[in-house]
């Protein structure tokens, strides 16, 4: 079993998060293997976004432990937290592109400021990424000139520019017009095929069925059920999961 | 008509009296721009400390000092601050450094207002921008410098320009410590000719023209910045 252990990328143990009186996460324990695509579903307010945001410490967990490649995250100093975040790309529901910078600069900013690449290397990488997401012609545009779907594809390219080991997606298609959803999901699918480790919070059941290696159902701050998609959608075991699926899979 | 021309000559031409106005104007401009510079630097520093405290809970002592500064400066009249600077804090300084004292007083005063303008600009930036910076591994200060401040600056530019315009007019009280600024220059002419209308009208007109010039410069700059970002 040693071989399997080496592939454990993210290990979460008994994770709790409270906002004041509000207990959001209630003892989350799970493990994500390298190359896995975990799709987290569940009703609004179930804590799935909070869980995702705890993974790269955008939210500080109240208790528990998270480790990435065997390194515990909760005891890291601020500097090391920033180092850790370079390995975890994050894509937000509202894109959060930098409106004052061109698309190219949005992508090159972090690698250049981290001195991981020279300006020229970063531009080179950015151009390749723009090609990958199919937006080479938007190189010198500003975010406000893009559609929602295009913005989200740029946001993905921006995260990829840091060459992360794992990508976190926080409802990446929830703020999009329905006709834009497909292009973003398609890009995520390609990313999955490239072998990227992904943790995706989404309401897109089709995506979960097709891409996920494991579907995780959360409600009330707990993981109620997790299973490979075929099993999860065909034979949900938990009553709450059945109820949820009966409502979303009409 | 000839009376009026004689008045004009008497007020401005005789004994080169117009020089009171031009020399005064030079002093007014020096004080305004040097003080604006101090004010903007000081204001940004204070705003950074205050908003870092608001966002992260750090810098408690710094924030406390900044709040005292803001309360005192915004709670007392400019003229009183100027008099205290000149007659108390720098009482031992030779009076030829008057202009330095004036610049410092107006700069420190302006800084308090700039600080709150800039802070409101920083706080108005969506928290998602901070999170995007953090998620890319950028430190708080880099996120601030490359992502937040450029956007905040653009948002507060009109308010900041307004503050400079206020400052320009506010420097008219520099005469209280014997600075020969524009207002004082006009006043000297009045005391020489016993005629108030023309010199004061000239002084008012000069202030007005400068404010109009500043305003048009700012709207030009605003338009240039807006090109980058059509929301």
A190: left (phi over 0), alpha (psi -120 to 50) or beta: alpha
Instruction: Judge whether B98 and B130 are in contact, CB under 8 Å.
Output: no
Asked if A92 lies within 8 A of B131 by C-beta distance, the reply is: yes
Of B89, B104, B134, which is closest to residue B38 (Cα–Cα)?
B104
Is the CB of residue A77 less than 8 Å away from at least one CB of chain B? no
User: How many residues comprise chain A?
Assistant: 250
Among A110, A119, A199, the strongest candidate for a mutation testing the B interface, having the largest count of B CBs within 10 A, is A110
Those residues whose C-beta lies under 8 Å from the C-beta of residue B197, and which sit 6 or more positions away, are none
Residue B38: per-residue pLDDT: 97
Full-model pTM: 0.85
Look up residue B35 and give its two tokens. Answer: 């003080």
Question: In the prediction, which pLDDT does A4 show?
Answer: 47
Reply yes or no on whether the pLDDT at A3 is more than 80. no
Task: Count other Cβ atoms within 10 Å, centred on residue A190.
Answer: 12
- Give B100→chain A minimum CA distance, Å: 38
Average pLDDT, chain A: 93
The whole-angstrom separation of Cα A26 and Cα A39 is 19
Q: In whole angstroms, give the CA distance from residue A41 to residue A32.
A: 16
Contacting A with CB below 8 Å, chain B residues are: 126, 128-129, 131-132, 134-140, 142, 146-147, 150-151, 154, 228-231
What percent of chain A lies above the pLDDT cut of 70?
97
Q: What is the mean pLDDT of residues A55-80?
A: 94
In the prediction, which pLDDT does B231 show? 47
- What local confidence, expressed as pLDDT, does residue B229 receive? 57
Task: State how far the Cα of A2 lies from the Cα of A5, in Å rounded to an integer.
Answer: 5
pLDDT in the model for residue B93: 81
User: For each successive 10 residues of chain B (231 residues), what is the average pLDDT?
Assistant: 84 87 95 97 95 90 97 97 94 86 97 96 95 95 94 90 94 94 94 91 96 90 71 47
Q: Which residues of B193-213 are buried (b: 16+ CB within 10 A; e: fewer)?
A: beeeebbeebbeebbeebeee
Whose CA is closest to A133, among A177, A94, A174, A172? A172
Look at residue B228 in the predicted model and tell me its pLDDT.
Answer: 61
- What is the distance between the alpha carbons of residues B39 and B108, in angstroms, rounded to a whole number? 6
Q: What is the mean pLDDT of residues A186-195?
A: 95
Q: What is the DSSP string of B157-201?
A: HHHHHHHHHHHHHHGGGGGGGT---HHHHHHHHHHHHT--HHHHH
Nearest to B229 among A88, A99, A158 (CB): A99
Question: For the residues A111-132, what does the mean pLDDT come to?
Answer: 95
ipTM of this predicted structure: 0.90
Judge whether B90 and B97 are in contact, CB under 8 Å.
Answer: yes
Other beta carbons within 10 Å of B93: 13
Interface contact A117, partner B, CB < 8 A: no
The pLDDT value recorded for residue A2 is: 42
- From chain A, the residues in CB contact with B229 under 8 A are 99-100, 142, 144
| Higher-pLDDT residue of B157, A110 | A110
Query: Concatenated DSSP letters for A121-181?
Result: HHHHHHHHHHHHTT-GGGTT--GGGS-HHHHHHHHHHHHHTT--SEEEEESTTTTS-HHHH
Over 60: is that where the pLDDT of A5 sits? Answer: no
């Amino acid at each position: 079993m040693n071989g399997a252990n080496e592939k454990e990328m993210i290990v979460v143990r008994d994770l709790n998060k409270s906002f004041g009186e509000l207990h959001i996460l209630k003892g989350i324990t799970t493990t994500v293997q390298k190359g896995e695509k975990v799709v987290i579903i569940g009703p609004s307010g179930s804590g799935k976004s909070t869980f995702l945001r705890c993974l790269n410490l955008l939210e500080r967990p109240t208790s528990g432990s998270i480790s990435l490649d065997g390194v515990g995250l909760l005891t890291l100093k601020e500097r090391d937290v920033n180092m850790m975040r370079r390995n975890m790309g994050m894509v937000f529901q509202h894109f959060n592109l930098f409106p004052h910078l061109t698309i190219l600069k949005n992508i090159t900013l972090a690698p250049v400021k981290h001195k991981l690449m020279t300006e020229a290397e970063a531009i080179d990488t950015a151009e390749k990424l723009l090609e990958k997401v199919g937006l080479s012609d938007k190189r010198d545009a500003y975010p406000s000139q893009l559609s929602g779907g295009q913005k989200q594809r740029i946001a993905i390219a921006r995260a990829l520019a840091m060459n992360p080991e794992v990508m976190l997606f926080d409802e990446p298609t929830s703020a999009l017009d329905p006709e834009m959803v497909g292009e973003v999901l398609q890009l995520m699918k390609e990313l999955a095929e490239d072998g990227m480790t992904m943790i995706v919070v989404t309401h897109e059941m089709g995506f979960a069925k097709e891409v996920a290696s494991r579907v995780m159902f959360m409600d009330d701050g707990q993981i109620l059920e997790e299973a490979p998609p075929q099993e999860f959608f065909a034979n949900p075991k938990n009553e709450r999961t059945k109820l949820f699926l009966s409502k979303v899979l009409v | 008509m000839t009376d009026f021309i004689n008045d004009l000559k008497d007020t401005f031409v005789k004994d080169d009296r117009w020089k009171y106005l031009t020399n005064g104007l030079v002093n007014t401009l020096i004080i305004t721009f040097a003080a604006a510079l101090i004010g903007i630097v000081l204001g940004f520093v204070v705003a950074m400390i205050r908003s870092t405290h608001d966002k992260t809970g750090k810098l408690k002592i710094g924030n406390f000092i900044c709040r005292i500064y803001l309360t005192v400066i915004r709670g007392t009249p400019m003229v009183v601050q100027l008099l205290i600077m000149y007659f108390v804090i720098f009482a031992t300084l030779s009076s030829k450094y008057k202009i330095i004292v004036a610049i410092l007083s107006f700069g420190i005063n302006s800084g308090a207002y700039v600080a709150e303008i800039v802070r409101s600009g920083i706080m108005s930036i969506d928290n998602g921008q901070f999170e995007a910076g953090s998620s890319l591994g950028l430190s708080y200060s880099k996120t601030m410098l490359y992502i937040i401040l450029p956007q905040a600056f653009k948002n507060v530019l009109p308010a900041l320009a307004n503050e400079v315009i206020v400052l320009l007019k506010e420097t008219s009280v520099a005469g209280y410590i014997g600075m020969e600024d524009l207002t004082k220059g006009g006043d000297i002419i009045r005391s020489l000719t016993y005629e108030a209308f023309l010199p004061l009208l000239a002084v008012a007109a000069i202030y007005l023209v400068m404010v109009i010039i500043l305003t048009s410069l700012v709207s030009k700059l605003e338009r240039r910045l807006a090109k980058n970002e059509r929301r």
